[in-house]
Structure 1
Amino acid sequence: MPPMIEFWFDFASTYSYPAAMRLEAAAREHGRAVAWRPFLLGPIFQAQGWNDSPFNLYPAKGRYMWRDMERLCAARGLPFRRPSVFPRNGLLPARVICAADGADWVPDFVRRIYTANFAEDRDIADAGVVCDCLTGLTDDPETAVATAGEPDVKARLRAQTERAVALGIFGAPSFTVGGELFWGNERLETALAWPPEDEENAHG
């Protein structure tokens, strides 16, 4: 059976948006199960001496990224609107996922949050917006949002961010298959094809 792919993402990450929107279908084609792993880029960036997104700190890089996102989303038929605030705080929806502990609705929720941020220019830090994204997925969106504030849930997200650091993750989206790390939306197919047959045979 092919190994599971872990998808590491931050809701503020631009390139995580197209990755999240296509991951589940692509993984299904490869017979792969997906583990959805929200984490926080902020502490990782701070450890590198950044107090903001590198796309804001380096304007030329930011201009390129926004144009690249327009091209990429147009090519994939994804709606895109540059957020009026960037980066937005994705802490609350990330905690909602940690509290959900692998619930079946998590992939749909992830896609709704990314759509809210990068297609509808909505504030994903707002509890009302997060509740809207949960509507129809869980019987009690308000309770799901309230549970996200509990200390053990906060600890889970911190631990997940620490695990990301331990795995060598420095940006999003990232994918891990076994001990192998792949960074960037364009590396999704490479991650799904890992390990190559010759490597599998060598360890078989």
Structure 2
Amino acid sequence: MQRPLIEFWYDFASTYSYLAAMRIEAAAEAADVGVVWRPFLLGPIFAAQGWNTSPFNLYPEKGRYMWRDMEREAAKLGLPFCRPDPFPQNSLLAARVGLVGAEQGWIGAFTKAVFRAEFAKGRAIGDPAVLAEILAGLGQDADAVLAEAQGETNKARLRRVGEEAQARGIFGAPTFVADDREVFWGNDRLERALEWAVAHGRRSDWPV
């Protein structure tokens, strides 16, 4: 019997997605659950709610809590952490590159490298040169990948991913979706999502 899977929906600009991305592989492996990496953009979802930026910016008290909570949680996990400037970062190109990585099998390594650059080193992930450096470090042809990422076919693919997220009621990141479409939101729900995936089996229409 094939093991269950969870979808990991994340935006590269999302603070708590950083924490989840850096620990999901080990947690999923321990639970014998596979991970499907699903980069997407929160911007259109926020815009549909009338927000023009992150709610952490719109609501200062919430933002202050989040930054302190991130410091605590990163320290607990032994992860370096710094605030990106500006926040949120422009994650459009990183998401497009992530979709190419999903097709070619290096999305996990790319995702973690982007989050480290952003939240551990304070680098600008919207800068093509930063992403090119990350891709080269992964042994990829950066120019070819960036060209494919910015092609019309891939741009349309990311738009469809965003439409799928909205149609499925995803409203924040990180979000974890089990085989039976049960949804869990937030880094602190990762373990619960894995438990649910194990208890409720594997959906038959996942790609092998």
Pick the TM interval, shorter chain: over 0.9
Contact kept? 1:122, 1:129, Cα under 8 Å: yes
- State the alpha-carbon separation in 2 of the partners of residues 84 and 68 from structure 1: 18
Give the match for residue 192 of structure 2.
190
The CA deviation at 1:24 is 0.8
Give the match for residue 62 of structure 1.
63
Pair 1:74-2:75 in alignment: yes
Contact kept? 1:117, 1:123, Cα under 8 Å: yes
Give the match for residue 94 of structure 1.
95
Contact kept? 1:70, 1:80, Cα under 8 Å: yes
- State the alpha-carbon separation in 1 of the partners of residues 102 and 23 from structure 2: 22
- State the alpha-carbon separation in 2 of the partners of residues 84 and 90 from structure 1: 13
The CA deviation at 1:135 is 1.8
How many equivalent residue pairs? 199
The CA deviation at 1:196 is 6.4
2:104 aligned counterpart, secondary structure: coil
- State the alpha-carbon separation in 1 of the partners of residues 54 and 129 from structure 2: 25
TM-score, length-scaled by structure 2: 0.92
Contact kept? 2:42, 2:172, Cα under 8 Å: yes
Contact kept? 1:7, 1:37, Cα under 8 Å: yes
User: Which residue identity does 1:95 align to in structure 2?
Assistant: R
The CA deviation at 1:98 is 1.2
1:135 aligned counterpart, secondary structure: helix
Contact kept? 2:28, 2:35, Cα under 8 Å: yes
Alignment of 1:100-179 (within 5 A): 100-178=101-179, 179=181
The two structures, once aligned, show a CA RMSD in angstroms of 1.3
- State the alpha-carbon separation in 2 of the partners of residues 47 and 96 from structure 1: 24
User: Which residue identity does 1:193 align to in structure 2?
Assistant: E
Give the match for residue 23 of structure 2.
22
- State the alpha-carbon separation in 1 of the partners of residues 74 and 165 from structure 2: 27
Contact kept? 1:105, 1:138, Cα under 8 Å: no
Q: Mind listing any 5+ residue stretches in structure 1 that lack a counterpart?
A: none
TM-score, length-scaled by structure 1: 0.93
1:169 aligned counterpart, secondary structure: coil
1:102 aligned counterpart, secondary structure: helix
Runs of 4+ in 1 over 3 A off after TM superposition: none
1:49 aligned counterpart, secondary structure: coil
The CA deviation at 1:30 is 1.2
- State the alpha-carbon separation in 2 of the partners of residues 130 and 71 from structure 1: 28
Contact kept? 2:93, 2:149, Cα under 8 Å: yes
CA offsets 1:93-147 (integer angstroms, 9 cap, x no match) = 1101212333332111100100111111111011100011112323311211121
